[in-house]
Amino acid sequence: MINEQIKHLRKSNNLTQEELAEKLNVSRQAITKWESGLGTPDISNIEAIAKLFNISIDELINNESGIRTDNVSRTEFDIFSEKDFEIRFDNINSLDITLGQSDKVVAEVMTDLEEKAYDLAKVKLDDEKTVDMSIINIASGKRDTISKQDAKNHIFVKVILPERLSDKIELSGCLRTLKLHDFREAKEIEFDGKVEKVTVTDMLGHLELNSNLDMEIEYDGSMEQFDINQMNSTSNIYISKDADIDIYAKGRGNKIVLNGFENKAGSAHKVELNGFRSELTVVVR
């Protein structure tokens, strides 16, 4: 398993989690999640780990991942001033969003299918005051090519936005998994669409999540404000029992089920359930 491999490599090289995190330019919490199996490094971090320990990617992942590391389409755009970002996409499996230190937008499209990633999805950028970034499944709907269902099962996207030049971030589309992580500066982020699983770690600022699917949410309590807006939905949020979070419901017919979690009323870290006749259950990790 890749989590066991990372832990073995770190310990055999006499590195602490903090030291490994510094070498990979990620948070210590990210290393902890990888090693415990609660999270998996994306393709860029897999490449960085393999390079750091001078092993092949196949050795690192032990052939457990279906994503072919040679089947990645990478696009980069230079950004010259502070922007709002609108990232729109069709059906994809997962979207991983983080911030980088360079003044570039980097988008990686990956797939575990035989078709080339570049032939399945393209990235377009319209650079004005607000950057409109589209990730388009160009093959969807064509005869004898990938279907929308296959796109949702087999296309994986990672986007790195420039930390210094990013302001508000708006996301929209349909996907299985949304990952937001390692935002060292506070940002305003809004998602509008359909998503089944959401992971939020090491984030600052405000996240507004608009989705009417029943969701599984992994959350470390790092954001100042996390708004969950749903209609007639039942979702779970997984947090540490010691998390310093004030969780409450607003709107008509909404309900919070604490399920053993001791709510921290008045905390600076808020989770607010909005919408209509929805239920959010806190699952303690």
Tell me the three state secondary structure of residue 50: helix
CATH number at residue 24: 1.10.260.40
In a domain, 175, yes or no: no
> Which CA distances in Å does 30 have to 42, 74, 87, 212?
11, 23, 24, 28
pLDDT (mean) for 261-279: 96
Instruction: Say whether pLDDT at 192 is over 50.
Output: yes
Q: Using an 8 Å Cβ cutoff, are 199 and 179 in contact?
A: yes
In a domain, 117, yes or no: no
Q: What tens digit of pLDDT does each residue of 161-183 get?
A: 999 999 899 999 999 999 999 89
| Most confident of the ranges 45-49, 147-151, 213-217 | 213-217
DSSP string of 8-34, one letter each residue: HHHHHTT--HHHHHHHHTS-HHHHHHH
In a domain, 42, yes or no: yes
Tokens representing residue 271 in the block: 């989770």
In a domain, 223, yes or no: no
In a domain, 49, yes or no: yes
| Most confident of the ranges 7-16, 149-158, 186-195 | 186-195
Q: Which domain holds residue 48?
A: 2-61
Residue 64: pLDDT band with limits 50, 70, 90: very low
What residues pair up with 192 in beta bridges, in sequence order?
Answer: 172, 210
Q: Kindly report whether the global pTM for this prediction surpasses the value 0.85.
A: no
pLDDT at 249: 97
How many structural domains are present in the chain? 1
pLDDT at 35: 84
In a domain, 98, yes or no: no
pLDDT at 144: 55
The type of residue at 200 is: V
pLDDT (mean) for 1-23: 85
Of 73-87, 94-108, 123-137, 208-222, the least confident: 123-137
pLDDT (mean) for 75-89: 93
In a domain, 30, yes or no: yes
In a domain, 10, yes or no: yes
Q: What tens digit of pLDDT does each residue of 234-264 get?
A: 999 999 888 999 999 999 999 999 988 999 9
